Each structure stands twice: as structure tokens, then as C-alpha cells.
Structure 1
Amino acid sequence: MSRAFVKEDGPDNEPLPDLPLSPHPNYVTPRGLAALRARLAETQAELARLRARAERLDRLPEKAAERDIRYLEARLRSAIPVDTASQPRDEVAFAARVTVADEEGHESSYEIVGEDEADASLGRIAPHSPLARALLGAHVGDVVEWRKPSGREEIEVVAIDYPEAE
């Protein structure tokens, strides 16, 4: 085969740029740490499957898996596990599930979790989010100011719970 048709030195063989890592401390709940480990194992298995393909002309999926593995390994190296049992029960801290009431009395619950575990649709927020920053350190009965893009809102802390690792 002519050397002109071989891409051994081309951009297809370059690794993809790394995903950006957060500058914030990487606090993780036990559930979040387990999820990171599971994602790493799944991605490693996917990479092995991709490398075992008979037809490997398209290397982009392999490069993407390698990049994701580098990211997940970095997140695991920087992980700061937080023992939820040692958190103060009367104060909002990392891993707390906080129930708040807005000015109309509507209640919502949020759980302060690590960045990789945050999911707004599940009510899980990162500790550096505006809502979490407003709630951290608060006690039941405290009214805190939540600065949102749409303006500020006062919310009252109704309950604080520390769910066990799920």
C-alpha cells in the first residue's frame, strides 16, 4: 500500500485535548465517589471494546474514551471524600439535603453534592452554586438571600437532613 494512504502521522493519531478540570475543591459524597469509580470502569471497558474492533479506521471513539479516562482518573485523584455521618446535624454543610420555603410558602428540597454528582433535575446542587453558597452554614429557621440571575429571593430553611449513602 502506498504511504500516501496511511495516516500514521496525521491528526487522527493525536490525543484529544483534555476536558477542563474545575478549580474548586473536589468534595464527593460516598455515592458520588462510587459513581465516579463506576464511570471510570465503564469507560475503560468501552475503550477495551473499541480497541478489539476488527475495523478500527475511525479512531475518534477511542480517543474520546482515552480523554474521558484521563478526566475521570484526575477527578478520582483530586477527590476529597466527606463522611456524611460526621457533618453537623443542625447546620447546612456539604452532603446536606435542605428543605426550603420561598416567600409564598412553596417548599423545595436540594442536596449539596460534588460537582460530578450535581443534577438539577434531581435537586442535587454543587457546593459553589449560588444556592448552595447561600445555604451553607444556615440553621433551621434561618432566612437566607439567594441571588439568582432573575434577582434575589429570600428563602427559609425548613429542614436539614443528611441522607446516608444511597
Structure 2
Amino acid sequence: MSRAFTREEDNEAIADIGERPVSQHRNLVTERGLALIETELAELREALGEAERQEDRERLASVSRDLRYWTARRETAELSVPEPGSDVVRFGMVVTLENEDGKTVHWRIVGEDEADPAKGTISHVSPMAQALFGKAVGDLVGVNGKEWEIVGLTTKG
């Protein structure tokens, strides 16, 4: 097998890493979420330059793909800041919930790219967030067979 043929196959494998899927939902972001996108773009631009200097084609393809994703996310980002004093659940707010066993959880509703349930943030398109929108303290919401009462609501957190 010739070396040229092998390189062509390698190039095809590298070029075929696939695109990162972009959500079809509105790209709502908090101020923190927008800052995270900007940071990611800056880091990727730096990584792209490094991959070019090192002539690392695999890294170049991967970073280019991620740069396309985050550029698209930045272009479609819609900054949304909740109204201070709002008495109903809105994007960007922290909601405190209590279940029938007395367990309390706190969720900040954020954009899809910022969501990290282990850190207390959930995506605005998640079933829990969808159930919470427009509700007020004292309202009950049911998600996945569990019932939760909204016991607190704030724009800070």
C-alpha cells in the first residue's frame, strides 16, 4: 500500500469527526453563560493556533469543529436577565423546591450549554424547568412522578 494512499485515508478519518449538534431551541443565556461562551471561544482560538503551529491535523480538526459550534452558539445567544422582584419563575432565577419527604433542592434555570445539574443549574428546556415556568411560591409542580412545592424564588444566587 502506498504512503500517499494511507495519508488520504488518514485525512478522510480526521475530516470525518462529525459536527457537534446545535440545539433547535432558543439559545437563551445568562450573563454568566455568555461569559462562558466568550471564554470558550478565546481558548479555542488559542488552541487552534497551537494546533496549526504543531501541524497536528487531528487536533486542528477537533478544535475547528468546536470553534464552529461555539461561534454558532455565540451568534444565536439571547441574553435574558430576570426582572428583579418577579413573583413567578422565569429564566435565570433560582427556585427552591421541597418534595413530600421534606427534601429541599435549589435549581437555577440557565441556558443549555451552562446547565450542570450536579452544580445546581438546569437547562431551560428541561422537563423540570418547563414545569416551573410561570409558577409562584406555594404552587405545586409534578415531574417524573414526584410532586414538588415551590418554597422560594430569587434572582440572586
TM-score (norm. length: structure 1): 0.85
Aligned to 2:146: 153
| Cα root mean square deviation, aligned | 2.1
How much has 1:19 moved relative to structure 2?
A: 0.8
Q: Structure 1 residues 87 and 17 mapped into 2: Cα distance closer, same or farther (>3 Å)?
A: farther
Show the counterpart of 1:21: 22
How far apart in 2 are the matches of 1:44 and 1:87? 36
**What are the superposed Cα offsets for residues 8-48 of structure 1, whole Å, 9 maximum, x if unpaired?**
68415636422111011100000000000100110110111
Q: Aligned to 2:7, what secondary structure does the other structure show?
A: coil
Q: Mapping of 1:1-166 within 5 angstroms?
A: 4=4, 7=7, 10-11=11-12, 14=15, 16-53=17-54, 56=55, 58-84=56-82, 86=83, 89-146=86-143, 148=144, 152-163=145-156
Distance 1:15 1:43, change over 3 A: farther
Q: Which structure 1 residue ranges, 4+ long, deviate > 6 Å from structure 2? A: none
> Kindly tell me: are residues 13 and 102 of structure 1, through their superposed partners in 2, closer, same or farther at Cα, counting changes over 3 Å?
closer
The answer as to whether partners of 1:12 and 1:60 remain within 8 angstroms in 2 is: no
**Secondary structure at the residue paired with 2:89?**
coil
Instruction: Give, in angstroms, the shift of residue 87 of structure 1.
Output: 5.7
Separation of aligned partners in 1, 2:153 and 2:3: 67
SS of the residue corresponding to residue 7 of structure 1 reads helix
8 Å Cα contact 1:87/1:93 also seen in 2: no
Kindly provide the CA deviation profile for residues 60-83 of structure 1, in whole angstroms up to 9, marking residues without a partner as x. 111000000000000011111112
TM-score, L = length of structure 2: 0.89
Unaligned runs of 5+ residues in structure 1 are: none
| Contact 2:81–2:91 (8 Å) recurs in 1 | no
User: What amino acid is the match of 1:32?
Assistant: G
Structure 2 portions without partners, runs of 5+: none
Q: How many pairs does the alignment contain?
A: 155
Distance in 1, matches of 2:43 and 2:27, equals 21
Q: Could you tell me how far apart the structure 1 residues matched to 2:73 and 2:16 are?
A: 19
Query: Structure 1 36/6 Cα, relative in aligned 2: closer, same or farther at 3 Å?
Result: same
Percent identical among aligned pairs is: 37
Q: Deviations over 1:115-139 (max 9, x none)?
A: 0000011110001111111111110
